[in-house]
Amino acid sequence: RSIIAIVPAAGIGSRMGADKPKQYLMLGHQSILAHTLDTLLAHPEITLVVVALHPQDNYFHQLPQSQHPRLTQVAGGGERADSVLAALDYAHTLNPDAWALVHDAARPCVTHDDITQLINAVDIHPQGAILAAPVRDTMKRSDANSHIVHTVDRALLWHALTPQFFPVSVLRQHLSAALAAKVSITDEASAMEWAGVMPGLVCGRIDNIKVTHPDDLQLAALFISQQ
Ligand code: CTP
Ligand code: MG
């Protein structure tokens, strides 16, 4: 099995509100994206990393990883799903039989072991699977005025994380069809679900956070320092 990692890194980080896209902010001794790429490039099952960059990206070439022989860049698109699809198109030309391991640039705390767990899970989830974390809090559904309507059964609720792991050709087909149908797609699994596939859930570490708001920087730095 050939595994191509796909890293959407074309966002502008509007919620972070920094002076540059959040994936280029420093976390300890290197940037968020550099941490993410190091973990993926070090995994022996990943043969290639395709990173989707903003067409006007001025920072990527400064990363030490930018010249890595097993790393390629493509131009991303307007939404995360467009960026992933651009990278899938490229991966498909290389090897239509490969599997795509899609991982947010903004999740630098992912561990080698969680990636391995996800890859191995396709033995029991042959259509693909995602890392996810069981919800811990009591969950409420509200009306539009912030009044509780009822309590939702937590046992069946998960936080969807990345990586998400699917065959390149199947994911590319369903993602492009879902985008053409104007379906809201915030992760790869939602495109598969829309096409009637039921991806597997693999319990991952809850410290695999997506750096989104300024507060998340300190947390991510702490998690990385503990690895
Ligand atoms: N992403 C992308 N292409 C886009 C939008 C997002 O490749 N058009 C990437 C981001 O770079 C990030 C991942 O998708 O690694 C998750 O997206 P998100 O956390 O929403 O990042 P941003 O879109 O950059 O942040 P914001 O929504 O706050 O602007
Ligand atoms: Mg975004």
The yes/no answer to whether this complex scores an ipTM above 0.90 is: yes
Model pLDDT for residues 29-73, shown as the tens digit of each residue: 999 999 999 999 999 999 999 999 999 999 999 999 999 999 999
Instruction: Give distance in angstroms: CA of 126 to centre of ligand 2.
Output: 29
Q: Concatenated DSSP letters for the chain?
A: --EEEEEEE----TTTT-SS-GGGSEETTEEHHHHHHHHHHT-TTEEEEEEEE-TT--SGGGSGGGG-TTEEEEE--SSHHHHHHHHHHHHHHH-TT-EEEE--TT-TT--HHHHHHHHHGGGT-TT-EEEEEE--S-EEEE-TTS-EEEEE-GGG-EEEEEEEEEEHHHHHHHHHHHHHTT---SSHHHHHHHTT---EEEE--TT-----STHHHHHHHHHHHH-
Distances (CA, A) of 68 to 48, 53, 56, 75: 10, 16, 21, 18
Q: What is the mean pLDDT of the chain?
A: 97
For the chain, domains (ranges, CATH) are: 3-226 (3.90.550.10)
Give residue-wise pLDDT tens across range 12-32. Answer: 999 999 999 999 999 999 999
Q: Is the pLDDT of residue 1 over 90?
A: no
pTM of the complete model beyond 0.90 = yes
Q: Which ligand is nearest to the CA of 210?
A: 1
pLDDT of 227 higher than 90: no
* 36 CA → ligand 1 middle, Å: 14
Identify the residues whose C-beta falls under 6 Å from ligand 1.
8-15, 23, 52, 76-80, 83, 104-106, 210, 212
Of 31, 157, 161, residue with least CA distance to 102: 161
Residue 91 CB-half CA count within 13 A: 35
